[in-house]
Structures are given as structure tokens and as C-alpha cells.
Amino acid sequence: MQQDDLPPHPLRILHLEDSAVDHELVRRALHKSGEHCELERVETLAEFRRQIQEFKFDVILADYRLPGFTALDAWHLLQQQIQQPPFILLSGAIGEPAAVSAIKTGISDYLAKDDLSKLAQVIRRSIEVHSIRRAKEKADIELALSEQRLADFAEHLQMTMEQERAAIAREIHDDIGGALAAVKFDLSWIGRHTTDSVTKGHVTAATEMLQHALEASQRIMMNLRPAILDQGLVAAVQWLAESFMKRTAIETTVHVFQEKDSLSKAVQLVAYRTVQEALTNIAKHANCSQVTIDLSDAENVLTLEVKDNGKGILPSEHNKPKSFGLRGLHERAKTVGGWLDVSSNGNTGTSIILSVPLSPAHSDTQQEND
């Protein structure tokens, strides 16, 4: 134990004791041990309350049984204070069950009065343990605050990304889409008013390329801002599955077990992005022949599972420095109070499960008021 971990000398000790003789024995035991301390004695619960409210002590020693109350009553009073120094029972034979019960409530230690030679050691040990516990509590609070800040930032980042995607989709629709539609109109006019076969051939080829560009812009807009969600999550998931199957030729099946007619836009978007990201990963890495998507809202929990029969994901790949896709899905799930589970069993494929408890806050009515 480092000296810096201990409170500065002299130790301020509050002694809850109704016997002046026993108090003097404690003073002598501490003096004999070489412990430099200031010892303050109180006898009543009212005096004890006043002392802990007005002064700061490094440790509290307390007899177990006092006139009209016990040390446990004093302990409960101490719990109401911001400053809570170590609390040590210093009593006669109170019985092992009572001592164990007291320790379980959070009291630091117990020492019998006939063993005062160990008092200084018990005090120092209690102070050290108390210091470690306080440091851990402080670290836990700081960690919780840090995690909350990270979650808030992740939620803000996801919201910002969706807003930027929507803005880009609108620009594609208004500017690029409008321009392509105008070009298609002009090409159609040229095709109707020319008799030159060579020109007609170029017009036909250009129209075909233009149609590919229009389809690509529509696909990009759909990925950026899923307007299909206006028709509901089921329709959106089925559209994703059909598009994926056409693009990859991988057999894709959707099973829906739906009890509720509507979900909030936030939950729908998280579920949609989860399917979208999962299918993207499958196309890139899974090397599979079959994909199954299960969607259910049974027992007031939205459960979405995307499962493939591919080569699976190695444990080491879950924590790759640049594997932001799955991490992003984890953070997305948290924004609606849900969680994401990813499991993979060797060559039997991968399963990604999104679970979101459904509450009144996840209804469409509530969402429209946001």
C-alpha cells in the first residue's frame, strides 16, 4: 500500500461509544500502535448525526449495542451523507450471525473489543479498501458517462448520415433525374423526326444507355432514401430481398410473422438498414446459395433475422479494425433501444439477429409527433 493512498495524518476518527472506559481503551490502543489520530466520542444517535453532517472523518468506530439503538441505525444515517467514511464495528461478542449480517449491509469490518491490538491494522486496511472501492465507483461512473456520450454521438452520427442521404437522393431526383428525363424526351423526338438509319441506330443505342442510367439513379436513390418504407417494413424487406435475388441469383426467402400493423419510422429504418447491410455483406463475403429473412413482432418484440448458408465469419473478423459495417448495425440498434446478435458456426453460415422491444414510443402516432 502506497503512503499516498492513505488520508493525511492525523486520522480523524468518530467513535460511537456509550462507555467512557472503552473509549479510553481505544485511545490507548491507538496511541500504543503509534497511530497519530484525533478521536471524537459520541453517545447518542442525534450527536452522531450532527457530527457526520458538520465534520469530515476518515473512519467511524461504533459499538454494536447502544442505549435505544444499534450501530445499524447509525450506519443507515451515514448512507444519507455524501461523505461516507469506512464504518467499523468495534464491539463485544455480538455473535457471528449478527456480525456477518452487518458486513453484508456494507459495513467495512468488525473487531472485538478484546482484540484492540489489531485496531490500527484494521483501520488502515478498511481505509485502503474503502479508497479502492471509491476509485472503482468513480471509474464506473466515468465509464458509464463515456459510454452514454459515445451512444449519443453514434445516434447523432446516424441521424446526420440519414439526413445527408436524403439530401443527396433529392438532388439526384431533382437535378440528375430531371436532366436524364429531358435527354430521353429529346432523343425520343429525334428518333421520331429522323429518317436516317444511322442516326436512328445511334438514337436507339443512346436511349438504351440512358435507360440504364435512369435505372441506376433510381436504385441509388432507393438505397439512399428508402421511399419503399412508406409502404411499410414488410414491403421494404421484400423489395430488398427481390432486388438482392435478381442481382446475385442467390435464392432468398422472406418469412413474416406480423401481429402489429405499424411501427415507428425510426424502428423501420433501423430494421431496413440492418437487412440492407446484411445482404451487402452476404453478397461480398458469404459465398452462399441460400438466404432466409425472418421478420416477427411477436410478444411485443420486433425480431429480424438474416441467415445464410455460406462460409461463416471467423471470430477474429468480428473485431477487425475496419469492420465498421457490423459495428454500425450495433450502434443503430441501440438508438431504438434494441440490440444485435451475430453468430456463425464454421461452414454452416451466419445469422444476424436484430431485437427491438416495442413500446408505445415506437408507434407511428408517437413518431409523427416527433
pLDDT digits 0-9 by tens, 47-102: 999 999 999 999 999 999 899 999 999 999 999 988 899 999 998 767 777 778 88
How far, in Å, CA of 69 to CA of 67, rounded? 6
Question: Would you state the pLDDT for residue 3?
Answer: 46
Place of cell 455524501: 82
Place of cell 413482432: 297
Place of cell 439513379: 217
- With a cut of 70, say whether residue 319 has pLDDT above it: no
Q: Who has greater pLDDT, 346 or 183?
A: 183
How far, in Å, CA of 268 to CA of 179, rounded? 32
DSSP string, 310-341: SS---HHHHT-TT-HHHHHHHHHHHHTT-EEE
How far, in Å, CA of 64 to CA of 73, rounded? 10
Q: Is 196 exposed, middle or buried (0-12, 13-18, 19+ CB in 10 A)?
A: exposed
Among 84-88, 101-105, 281-285, the minimum mean pLDDT is found in 101-105
Closest CA to 106 of 123, 124, 84, 125: 84
% of the chain exceeding 90 in pLDDT: 36
How far, in Å, CA of 153 to CA of 331, rounded? 10
- Residues with Cβ within 8 Å of 123's Cβ and at least 6 positions away in sequence, in order, are 11, 13, 35, 59, 61, 86, 88
- Phi then psi for residue 351, to 5 deg, are -125, 125
Number of Cβ within a 10 Å radius of residue 133: 13
Question: What are the tens digits of pLDDT across the range 16-46?
Answer: 999 999 999 999 999 998 888 899 999 999 9
Number of Cβ within a 10 Å radius of residue 125: 16
Please report, as a single letter, which amino acid is at residue 32: K
Helix axes 20-32, 119-171, angle to 10 degrees: 80
In the 8-state DSSP scheme, what is residue 363? Answer: S
Distance, CA of 282 to chain centre: 26
How far, in Å, CA of 232 to CA of 225, rounded? 14
- With a cut of 60, say whether residue 1 has pLDDT above it: no
Tell me whether strands 109-112 and 65-66 are parallel, antiparallel or unpaired.
Answer: unpaired
Question: Would you state the pLDDT for residue 369?
Answer: 41
Q: Is 115 exposed, middle or buried (0-12, 13-18, 19+ CB in 10 A)?
A: exposed
- With a cut of 80, say whether residue 301 has pLDDT above it: yes
How far, in Å, CA of 331 to CA of 326, rounded? 9
Confidence of residue 292 (pLDDT cuts 50, 70, 90): very high
Confidence of residue 362 (pLDDT cuts 50, 70, 90): low
- With a cut of 60, say whether residue 324 has pLDDT above it: no
Domains of the chain: 3-139 (3.40.50.2300), 228-370 (3.30.565.10)
Among 110-114, 164-168, 265-269, 354-358, the minimum mean pLDDT is found in 164-168
C-alpha cell at 47: 450527536
- Name the CA radius of gyration of the chain, rounded: 35
Closest CA to 86 of 57, 116, 55: 57
Kindly report the pTM of this predicted structure: 0.52
